[in-house]
Structure 1
């Protein structure tokens, strides 16, 4: 179910969710770009990606999918592993989901002091949920996701195989079908992580 269906039910909920998604996706991609830039790879900077401007990070197709399907993506940040080395690549890749986890933890800490029934509480809960989804989903060891590239950095031979698969013309469709088949298990994992994040701050 895409965001458009939410617009029909509650325009306010649509606005909160849409803004939270834009913020979270932007921070995620900025974190990739900033980490790579700080670690010595100027590729993201040359593409204008070391910025918090959402227009530099949102992908037109990925945004449409979010609106109408409920699943989408931002524009991947280009990095050059040869400029970063094995461990630099790992940290630049991990920076995206780690930034989402940090946002979720901050929101959880604030929720402990803010009634969830208030508008601010609803915003915090929405931002928390979206960032847990982004963190957990992107850390899955599935091709095209950050998790597979982190795994590839730890095991270079596997990383080369994953890169070859991702270069195939139908890799995106294959991965989407695989994710859809595991959607129940992924949703359960996301729920467990969200409860863990809230539990850390006693919320």
Structure 2
């Protein structure tokens, strides 16, 4: 039986909020571990979604993508990190950046494990829960793959800046001021979807092979 629109949005809400909230909190935890207390002092190292929610990126855009049937997409307010406060800024930047996508991978695996054991739940709840699991898998893999694109200020851009030698790292870091506009162009031109769709599909297949 198909879910109503209200039921579908409800099933998507929890995994979307957790995917975005845990992703940002993971950056804050990693930054604090490596010496930057900025997010800690601003009380952004928390799983309280209210502190991370962006009205457009966390609520409106995901809701529209669910209703329109496109790829599930969204974002939260970025956790502030002052990389110059890290004990080894260039090296530690990699671990702070990769903490977010790593948390999404873990959550995608979590939802996959629940999905493959859906028969353990009551029949009347199984369909609703399976939709929630698929939403959790999709949003987490989209966030993981999207954020690993080597374009500052995405996490993949920070990773690339950390790994590249000077002056290439400096040149790439200089793109950050244009990164958001480049991303918007990629999104509306359809290029971003062509990048994300096969990589998300491949990631999902690998997770299902290992944990399915």
TM over 0.5: yes
Quick check: 1:101 aligned with 2:101? Answer: no
User: Within 5 A, what are the aligned runs for 1:1-203?
Assistant: 10-63=5-58, 64-68=60-64, 71-84=73-86, 85=88, 86-115=90-119, 118=126, 119-157=128-166, 158-168=168-178, 171-179=179-187, 180-201=190-211, 203=212
In the aligned structure 2, how far is the partner of 1:149 from the partner of 1:186?
Answer: 19
- Contact 1:24–1:130 (CA under 8 A) maintained in structure 2: yes
Structure 1 portions without partners, runs of 5+: 1-6
CA shift digits 1:7-39 (9 cap, x unpaired): 9x5211111112211111000000000111122
The normalised TM-score by structure 1 is 0.85
Secondary structure of the corresponding residue to residue 118 of structure 2:
coil
In the aligned structure 1, how far is the partner of 2:200 from the partner of 2:171?
Answer: 28
CA shift digits 1:61-97 (9 cap, x unpaired): 3233333466432111111112222222111110000
Structure 2 portions without partners, runs of 5+: 66-71
- Contact 1:26–1:52 (CA under 8 A) maintained in structure 2: yes
Count of aligned residue pairs for this structure pair: 193
- Contact 1:149–1:159 (CA under 8 A) maintained in structure 2: no
Q: 1:17 to 1:159 in 2, by over 3 A?
A: farther
Q: 1:62 to 1:125 in 2, by over 3 A?
A: closer
The normalised TM-score by structure 2 is 0.81
CA RMSD of aligned residues (A): 2.2
